[in-house]
Amino acid sequence: MLFLQKIYAMDPNAGKKDLINRYSREELEARLMAEDFKRVTVSFYRYVILDDPQAFRDQLYKEWTELNCLGRIYVAREGINAQMNVPEHNWETFVKQVHAKAELKDIPFKIAVEDDGKSFLKLVIKVRERVLADGLPDDAYDVTDVGHHMDAEEWNKAIEEGAVVVDMRNHYESEIGHFENAILPDSETFREELPEVLDKLKGKEDQKILLYCTGGIRCEKTSAFLKHHGFKDVNQLHGGIIDYARQIKTKELPNKFHGKNFVFDERLGESISNEVISHCHQCGEPCDSHVNCANVACNLLFIQCSSCAEKYEKCCSEDCQEVVHLSPEEQKKLRAGKEVRKRFHSHRRWEEIHPETKN
């Protein structure tokens, strides 16, 4: 709490812009590890028209800094999308503050399945044009005309009855875990995924469509998009994979999700079943642990087992392994030239580095 207050005091305009990280990652991790209380990792979203997104953001920043919350939150005219953690002793106050806002009244929270309380290191709240970029004009379709929300029991029954299941996450997310028999798009961004899914579903306009994602926000837009394009029976998993895991546990329902759920925080994943359905990108052994390449100029997100992590020193390739052995000055010079970043700028570049792993 003190270090967040210190940041706020150092910059009286901190509430007017993104949190400036005045500490190294190592310092932030050390402070978090030294905490003697638990944190609750939570995600939530809502599509709601905000008249003044900046003012809304500033108020949230002030309140959540005082509660010592950490996380990554996006605010836009179309609503809010939040992934964050909250000190357990401040949880009730947090919930009351959020629900007291007319725009967020009774907003549902998705609590993390596996949580060590170390999911985020700092608080960042950004104002964006969209909380979820789809690459389409504002009037392309009505984002409020969404599909039917299914609970876990309805969802399982629909799968058993042969409905068409579509994963609305990026390919690196579905690689480590997905629902059985789901259509798995090969996209890296949501804006790429919408047209790809529309193409994959051609001829299925009259069938029952089931959409799912991590917490529900991507399905919310996709369901409206598909309805706009003539799909008659569009459904989405209420609360996404996160809430599905909670429901099947509390209601003792069969689990139709195989593997791990990718999450966009320090954990990078939480197990929904005990299965490991993916493989290390370097040796091919069963593995579902995502890591970022130790070469900061690369930062490639990939799957790496513990043996390869030791062998390659947490790097994605021998090229990057060579880079991490350079002096800090040499690495800085290399990054300034942007050659490494240009070469390793996306997850899909993995196939160019290791063509033998391409399916």
For 266-319, the pLDDT digits (tens) are 666 678 888 999 999 999 999 998 999 999 888 898 999 999 999 999 999 999
CA angle 8, 13, 17 (to 5 degrees): 95
Name the token pair of 164. 């068409």
How far is C-alpha 59 from the geometric centre of its chain's CA atoms? 24
Kindly list the structural domains of the chain, giving each domain's residue range(s) and its CATH number in brackets, ordered by start: 2-127 (3.30.70.100), 148-259 (3.40.250.10), 290-357 (no CATH)
Task: Enumerate the active-site residues.
Answer: 213
C-beta separation of 220 from 239 below 8 A: no
**Range list of β-strands (E), 7-151:** 39-47, 70-76, 79-87, 110-111, 123-127, 148-150
What's the confidence (pLDDT) of residue 349? 43
Q: How many CB atoms lie within 10 A of CB 165?
A: 23
DSSP 278: -
Torsion over CA: 257, 263, 266, 268 (sign): positive
What's the confidence (pLDDT) of residue 338? 54
Tokens 């605010």 belong to 75
What's the confidence (pLDDT) of residue 9? 36
How far is C-alpha 300 from the geometric centre of its chain's CA atoms? 16
What's the confidence (pLDDT) of residue 229? 94
What's the confidence (pLDDT) of residue 351? 44
Tokens 């700028």 belong to 345
Tokens 């609360």 belong to 239
What's the confidence (pLDDT) of residue 228? 93
In the Cβ-directed half-sphere of 156, how many Cα atoms lie within 13 Å? 13
The residues facing 261 across adjacent strands are 270
What's the confidence (pLDDT) of residue 263? 73
Q: Which of these, 93, 90, 130, 85, lies nearest to 264 by C-alpha position?
A: 85
What's the confidence (pLDDT) of residue 264? 62
pTM here is 0.72
Whole-number percent of the chain with pLDDT over 90: 54
Tally the residues of the chain.
359
Q: How many CB atoms lie within 10 A of CB 283?
A: 13
Q: Which of these, 49, 225, 236, 205, lies nearest to 141 by C-alpha position?
A: 225
How far is C-alpha 96 from the geometric centre of its chain's CA atoms? 25
What's the confidence (pLDDT) of residue 117? 62
Name the token pair of 327. 């002096």
Name the token pair of 128. 């964006």
- Residue stretches of the chain with pLDDT short of 70: 1-23, 113-119, 138, 264-269, 337-359
Name the token pair of 77. 């005219």
Three-state secondary-structure class, residue 293: coil
Three-state secondary-structure class, residue 27: helix
C-beta separation of 176 from 259 below 8 A: yes
Torsion over CA: 17, 23, 24, 29 (sign): negative
The C-alpha atoms of residue 307 and residue 13 are separated, in whole angstroms, by 47
C-beta separation of 3 from 23 below 8 A: yes
The residues facing 249 across adjacent strands are none
The residues facing 258 across adjacent strands are 178
CA angle 124, 243, 19 (to 5 degrees): 5
